[in-house]
Structure 1
Amino acid sequence: MNELAELSYALDTFYFLMCGVLVMWMAAGFSMLEAGLVRSKNTAEILTKNIALFAIACTMYLLLGYYLMYSSAEGGFLPNLGFLLGGENSADAVTAGGDDAPYYSMRADYFFQVVFVATAMSIVSGAVAERMKLWAFLAFAVVMTGVIYPVSGYWTWGGGWIDAIGFSDFAGSGIVHMAGAAAALAGVLVLGPRKGKYGNDGTIRAIPGANLPLATLGTFILWMGWFGFNGGSELKVSDVDSANNVAQVMVNTNAAAAGGVIAALILAKLWFRKADLTMALNGALAGLVAITAEPLAPTAFGSMLIGMVGGLIVVVSIVMLDKLKLDDPVGAISVHGVVGIWGCLAVPLSNADATFGAQIIGMLGIFAWVFLASLVVWLVLKAIMGIRVSEEEEYEGVDIAECGLEAYPEFSVKK
């Protein structure tokens, strides 16, 4: 019996870690997607943001964020402070049996959670691309990953007041994706649009990305990483029920992504008379975000429909945000925020334990905290160091201004 318990513990820990590795690979997906959807003169800077934010997220969550999320009393509002990871599970605790026996390593739990934090922060980088100062962005990343996200994370997955009212979010449509979008929205409002994006007469000018093959590769990487994002959130694979649940989650995740692509592509064709690749890419991500709140309870067909609705929503949202002059170069606010709301609202459609009331209150709590806290931080950073590059630097590209190099130097003309 002891050997079986230890084997199950080892298997679940390994599965948890490998799912965390898949989610970490999503950092590459965000990097490629964003690098493909910005102009070539801003590529090196957006890549610098992505690798730096990942390092900052890992460090701040280690020093502070993990304990803010998980060291406090159930049902509470204010989290406790803590430091580093603490002790590990002992063999005696694992083999003791019972409902309280740990079934995976505490380090595996931290590793899986930290890559979620980095995902939330990655959402912000694309929305504020091409005109934000690098170091202002990184300063915000310190606060977002160390404090803002962990507080709302404590309210939900950490057993705080939002969890206590019955809010349900399996893998983070609201907790991760909408939260990242809320922080991005606050930044976009303070930052303003890119120069030339909107005309004085209200016209909207498209600013195409420099490398759509790269953006497509990034989308496929994110699609792949999402199997770890949702599949790992089952937390266990060592018994028949858990293994079946993991399989169902992955099938549903895939079905939703496919549905999102198809719906977005059809709507783009009907609306714009063209098969818009960028809308198809965002449709895939929208389907993935939509199913993330509840990838277990629906059937595969139901998951496809949830993803299709997400794909339709994201196309409409991207157009509407442009009309509101909210400049989001990669569509992050629409994909992760607007569709994240849909994902949370879709949970009661298949999960009888969830209620629309709890879902709405939970989303409002998460959004209000992350948006308002982020808005304060953005405004403080703007007052202290400024958050936007100069018009000349924006025109020449932030690669040279912020990084002193270009991603595509062979295209430069040297005098």
Structure 2
Amino acid sequence: MERLALSMDAVWVMLCAVLVISMQAGFALLEAGSTRMKNAGHVAGKQLLSFSMAGLAFWAVGYGLTFGEGNRWIGTTGWFLDLPPEGDSIPLEISFLFQLSFVAVSLAIVWGGFAERAKLGVYVLFGLLYTIVIYPVVGHWIWGGGWLSELGKQDFAGSTVVHLQGGVAALVATWLLGPRIGKYNTNGTPHSLPGHNQVYTVLGVLVIWLGWFGFNPGSTLSVQDGFFGYVALTTNLAAAAGGIGALATARLRLGRADIPMMLNGVLAGLVAVTAACAFVESWAAVVIGGIAGSLTVFTAQYFERKGIDDPIYAFSVHGVAGIWGTLSTGFFASPRLVEITGVGQPGLLYGGGWTQLGVQSLGVLASAIYVAVVSFVILRLLDRWMGLRVSKEEEVMGLDLSEHGAYGYPELNSAEKM
């Protein structure tokens, strides 16, 4: 019976890995649809490029740094998955693929800040370094037995490890690259550069939402007690609340039922509940998702007014919502669920005191500072060596043609020749 149970768990985690990997298709649709037609093929194609890079770098180095035996700060064993097998756990190869899918999502978030003006070579080099020296460090602190894990930090499926890291790196890149040509008027007010295909963005979010049922429920790593079903419930509730919260906020603030804001709200709700999905009651998941959806409307507008041209609002959706979701367990973590998971302490609203909120806050602060500093250093060095941004002529032409020699939409080629 034990072998059968272990086999079922292995199949479950493998299935969830496939679901999370399928989110790459969702990000391709979302990011390509949110950008202009002349960059659509480039933006979609870099999803495969980043998944390929992450697959090799995480296999060679990243997995060992994250989950290998080491110290409180970093893993020091496990290069090329050279780790001893554990008889009572899922196979190492399946564990690797599941964790790789998370790294790939984090990289997909990062690329939103680079969109429509970064050189292809910067994608390659920063993606490799992100997978080796940024993501694994925070991952080890929280999931690999590091110092934040020892303190009892609650991050069930990655509001901090996956989303906050990706959002912060995207913000640094967006700031260093500067705004796209034509984004701001001469008086500094933002000018709309709408994406070329809203249908793509809607489909992309739906694919990502579906894939999230591998993301959060899969992090139970087991089907034996059925707890994955509860995690799926809180995940779905938060996503729904995020979409409604963002749409309502946009209607009140902008005077229109803005579809892109609604889509961002769904994603923000998913991001926020990713830390909390196994620790909070269902009503709290609705509150967490609704607040995340509303926050993303305010923060997206705020950063845009401050001159941060973030084409897919990566920091608002993943960074801000990641912060809120991580902190939320400090308020809402339920005693019964904390007992089930065995991580941390109950939240403030259940009489658990300020301890868990303090741990969550420390985790957010330490992770954000590390990612911001290392991302800044890497990108500044790349800027001095090769330059981060394409030329003005290449940006106006579009990265499909300047970087790849052909438009993603052949009709544009025909229109140029006419």
TM-score bin, normalised by smaller chain:
over 0.9
1:249-298 CA-to-partner distances (Å, cap 9, x unmatched) read 00111110000010100111111111101000000000000100010232
Q: In the aligned structure 2, how far is the partner of 1:81 from the partner of 1:322?
A: 43
Q: In the aligned structure 2, how far is the partner of 1:124 from the partner of 1:298?
A: 28
Describe the SS at the equivalent of 1:48.
helix
Matched, 1:172 2:158: yes
Structure 1 window deviating more from structure 2 (300-309 vs 34-43): it is: 300-309
State the partner residue of 2:73. 77
Matched, 1:394 2:380: no
Q: Determine if contact 1:255/1:300 at 8 Å carries over to the other structure.
A: yes
- Of the three residues 273, 276, 280, the one matched with 1:291 is 273
**Equivalent pairs: percent with the same residue?**
40
CA deviation after TM superposition for structure 1 residue 360, in Å: 0.8
State the partner residue of 1:15. 12
Q: Determine if contact 1:257/1:284 at 8 Å carries over to the other structure.
A: yes
The amino acid across from 1:373 in the alignment is V
Describe the SS at the equivalent of 2:143.
coil
TM-score of the superposition, structure 1-length normalised? 0.93
CA deviation after TM superposition for structure 1 residue 226, in Å: 0.4
CA deviation after TM superposition for structure 1 residue 301, in Å: 2.4
For 1:197-346, what aligned pairs fall within 5 Å after superposition? Answer: 197-238=183-224, 240=225, 243=226, 245-346=227-328
Q: In the aligned structure 2, how far is the partner of 1:268 from the partner of 1:367?
A: 28
Q: In the aligned structure 2, how far is the partner of 1:339 from the partner of 1:133?
A: 28
1:148-190 CA-to-partner distances (Å, cap 9, x unmatched) read 1011111110111121222110000011100011111111111
State the partner residue of 2:376. 375
Q: Determine if contact 1:64/1:147 at 8 Å carries over to the other structure.
A: no
Q: In the aligned structure 2, how far is the partner of 1:141 from the partner of 1:81?
A: 22
Describe the SS at the equivalent of 2:81.
coil
Structure 2 runs not aligned, ≥5 long: 336-344, 347-355
State the partner residue of 1:384. 385
Matched, 1:40 2:45: no
Matched, 1:112 2:98: yes
CA deviation after TM superposition for structure 1 residue 350, in Å: 2.6
Q: In the aligned structure 1, how far is the partner of 2:149 from the partner of 2:331?
A: 19
Q: Determine if contact 1:128/1:188 at 8 Å carries over to the other structure.
A: yes
State the partner residue of 2:146. 160
The amino acid across from 1:393 in the alignment is E
State the partner residue of 1:98. none
Q: In the aligned structure 1, how far is the partner of 2:325 from the partner of 2:283?
A: 16
The amino acid across from 1:392 in the alignment is E
The amino acid across from 1:150 in the alignment is P
RMSD in angstroms over aligned alpha carbons?
1.3
Quickly say closer, same or farther: Cα 1:357–1:87, change in 2 above 3 A: closer
The amino acid across from 2:245 in the alignment is A
Describe the SS at the equivalent of 2:196.
coil
The number of aligned residues is 397
Matched, 1:128 2:125: no
CA deviation after TM superposition for structure 1 residue 81, in Å: 4.9
Describe the SS at the equivalent of 1:145.
helix
